[in-house]
Structures are given as C-alpha cells and as structure tokens.
Amino acid sequence: MLALPLALAAPAAWSASVLCRAENGGERLELHVPPSADPFEFHSVEFDRRFRVSAQYLADANKLKTYVYDFRGDTAVLIHMAEYSLANIVCPAAAGGLGLHRVYSRNYEREISLQCSAACD
C-alpha cells in the first residue's frame, strides 16, 4: 500500500514532446516532435536540399528515433540514424540533451550538427 502514494508523488519522467536543433552552414532549424502511437509518423526539416532531418517519438516504446539524409541528385540517402530510450529522462532537461551528433556528407565534407532534448513545459 505504501508504494502507490509514492508513485503518485513522483515527478513526471518525460515531457510532452522533444525539441531537436539542427545546424548547417550557420543556418539553424528546430524540429518539434510530439509523441505518436503511429510508427510511420515522422516530422522533418530540410536545409535547402543539402540535408533533411527527420524524427519520430514512439510513445508506446517510449523512444526517440532521429534520421539524417543527404541529397544525391533528386534522392535523399540516409547517412545517420540514432535511437534514444526516453525511460530515464527527466525534466528539467539536462544540459547537453540527448547527445550531440556531427554528421558529414560525402560532398565537400559538409557538416550538420543535431541535438535533441526534452521540451519541458
């Protein structure tokens, strides 16, 4: 009986959404990713046909998946994927978020940086 009141008093483990920030060539884009039960729902931003960043917050699995695509002609090619368990993330968001990724294109060594964190309300 004691465990139930303690469980109700515990702070929420995660926020209502995730915020990802991507930067390429001095341009910075933000991607808000709400939780979804649909495994085919993605949210995306694009850097003028240089890179595309997509993400999905799978509510049932309590995880975030991020994807970075490089454009080769008219085709977007996956060059980086990351997956995060959100089970132990708490608000307020920790400094550094879920890690900083630097991803490079094969063309002219173009770089994109990507970092996601809890969007604490």
Kindly state whether residue 26 falls inside one of the protein's structural domains: yes
pLDDT in tens, 25-65: 899 999 999 999 999 999 999 998 789 999 999 999 999 99
Domain presence at residue 1 = no
The pLDDT tens digits for 4-20 are 444 444 444 445 789 99
> Is residue 83, in this structure, part of any structural domain at all?
yes
The greatest distance separating any two alpha carbons of the chain, rounded to the nearest whole angstrom, comes to 62
Question: Which structural domain, as residue segments, surrounds residue 72?
Answer: 16-118
Q: Is residue 8 part of a domain?
A: no
Please count the structural domains in the chain. Answer: 1
Tell whether 104 is covered by a domain. Answer: yes
pTM of the model: 0.81
